[in-house]
């Protein structure tokens, strides 16, 4: 897949997300740090998906 096609696919997917962009590594990492920073948080699933499940 060439670079133009890759950018086209990313744009196409991003348009389906309410925030209109893909998540960044920093956003995923901060969610992980949040869950791991408290010993009393157990058995949780934190979706970092830009609201795509809201559709």
Cα–Cα distance measured from residue 18 to residue 50, given in angstroms and rounded to the nearest whole number: 6
Cα–Cα distance measured from residue 50 to residue 20, given in angstroms and rounded to the nearest whole number: 8
The whole-number pLDDT of residue 53 equals 86
The domain total for the chain is: 1
Which of the four pLDDT bands, split at 50, 70 and 90, describes residue 34? Answer: very high
Q: Which domain holds residue 35?
A: 3-54
Kindly tell me if the per-residue pLDDT of 40 is higher than 90. yes
pTM of the model: 0.71
């Amino acid at each position: 897949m060439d670079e133009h096609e890759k950018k086209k696919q990313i744009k196409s997917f991003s348009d389906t997300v309410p925030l209109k962009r893909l998540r960044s590594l920093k956003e995923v990492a901060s969610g992980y740090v949040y869950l791991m920073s408290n010993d009393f948080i157990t058995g949780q699933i934190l979706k970092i998906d830009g609201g795509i499940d809201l559709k």
